[in-house]
Amino acid sequence: MTGSVTRLAAAATALAITLTMAACSGGAPAGDGPQQQKKDEGAEPEAAPQAPQLIGDGSTAFTGAQPNQPAIEVLEPGQAPPQFVVFSWDGAGEDGNRLFSRFRQIARDNDAHMTYFLSGVYLLPEDQRHAYEPPGRSAGASDIGYLKDENIAATLEQLRGAWLDGSEIGTHFNGHFCGPGGVGSWSPEDWVSETEQAKWMVKNWRTTTGWEDDEPLPFDYEEELIGGRTPCLEGQDALLAAAGELGLRYDSSGNGTQVWPSQREGVWDIPLQAVPMPGRAFETLAMDYNFMVNQSGPGSGDPSRWGEWETQMREGLLQGFQRAFDGNRAPLIIGNHFNGWNGGIYMDAIEDVVTDVCPREEVRCVSFRQLVDWLDAQDPAVLEELRGLGVGEAPAGGWGAFPAGPAPAEGAEVAEPVREEDAETGV
């Protein structure tokens, strides 16, 4: 990896670029807690607490603790967990459709935080592309292309604002190589190289663009980057084997169901989840791309059906939400792309879901970082009991009797309850 980073640094110069942003797909189709700080509708994000301390070439900076973070509470006996919902975005670049800025505003309006999985190449100018050395591919190769200058600048602006909003900047890695010979065949060492290069692109955009006077990103990406999602949900096992070396705390590259997450290789494994697909006899992953593939195939389809398909996605996500809320309260994990497939219906469906569920009582729309901070603060025994609840399964005695605690050993004597009148007063 050090050789790749050295070559990246050597290649960094000022530039101009020409390719527009290409959207990335999300994989094949699949079968009372923290209180968020309330903000006035449309309010500007709280300012970072101190003057920037530039890091490296000044592309990033330490500005103190991230603002606009929820408090963390430890569950008490008999207390229902909050219903967490994580909205996450693969690729996370700002092109002419301005979807990044749109959903930042939607999040602010609805007391929501989100996770933006940045593709590192979205900050690397195209005429610097050969500085990127993807595993198993030629230098500069990328299946999602590179951004124009104005789109790199716009993406930087949204990344700054998103972090100050309280949201998280994760990684979608770089070249988005799927299928045979792609990320699914990579070794742990390949993932280390890919991740370190993604961080380098974020930490050195001033050098590669030549924009030396532009405002830095207000965070140290070495500290900010604690998780991501692999392209097309491929290659997770090898990535997790490298997670300790990379300092990752979670990964969201798996296929799962609506149950409480567990850890693998010391990392929180928080997969996308199967949710109902109304009118169909199967479920699909809670991701725009997967709904689309099951509706029109891997691309836009008949415009006369767009309204039907938008309703199907919105209602499928809401049914998944309600199943969790009324059942085991497992965090609902939703993945998306800033893309206008089928006339933008999936973006409209997501907006409807955000505005419906995030303002509700007992609901917390959080980033992955905020979710794992909460998980790490809980009693492991309580989390283990939560994991014992199946999809849509509420505790047998209700949340007031949760957690039930360990059952008495066979043959053990069970103490009789002490009546109030028999209790010692200590007087």
Q: Are 365 and 87 contacting, i.e. CB atoms less than 8 angstroms apart?
A: yes
Mean pLDDT of 392-401: 96
Q: At what angle do helices 306-326 and 288-296 cross, to 10 degrees?
A: 130
351 pLDDT above the threshold of 70: yes
> Which range among 109-123, 267-281, 344-358, 413-427 shows the weakest confidence by mean pLDDT?
413-427
76-127 residue pLDDT tens: 999 999 999 999 999 999 999 999 999 999 999 999 999 999 999 999 999 9
Q: Which two tokens stand for residue 224?
A: 């900010």
Confidence grade of residue 405 (pLDDT, cut at 50, 70, 90): low
What is the pLDDT, as a whole number, of residue 50?
80
Q: Give CA–CA dist 125/146, Å, rounded.
A: 7
- How far apart are the C-alpha atoms of 266 and 83, rounded to whole Å? 24
Q: What pLDDT was estimated at residue 415?
A: 41
Distance (Å, rounded) from C-alpha 376 to C-alpha 282? Answer: 34
For residue 232, give the DSSP letter: G
pLDDT digits (tens, 9 = 90+) for 275-316: 999 999 999 999 999 999 999 999 999 999 999 999 999 999
Mean pLDDT for the stretch of residues 158-179 = 98
Report the run of H or E that residue 368 belongs to, with start and end: helix 368-377
Domain segments of the chain as ranges:
2-10+53-63+84-389
* Fold of domain 2-10+53-63+84-389: TIM Barrel (3.20.20)
Output the CA–CA distances (angstroms, integers) from residue 272 to 29, 179, 264, 315, 414, in the order listed: 11, 19, 15, 17, 43
Does residue 198 or residue 24 have the better pLDDT?
198
> Average pLDDT, whole number, for the chain?
88
Task: Find the distance separating the first CA and the last CA of the chain, reported in whole Å.
Answer: 71
CA Rg, the chain, in Å? 23
DSSP character at residue 204: T
How much is the pLDDT for 404?
74
Entry pTM = 0.85
- Separation between Cα atoms, residue 153 and residue 22, nearest integer Å: 16
Give percent above pLDDT 70 in the chain.
Answer: 83
The tokens describing 361, both together, are: 């009582």
Confidence of residue 217 (pLDDT cuts 50, 70, 90): very high
What residues have CB less than 8 Å from 381, skipping those under 6 apart? 403
Q: For the chain, what percent of residues have pLDDT higher than 90?
A: 82
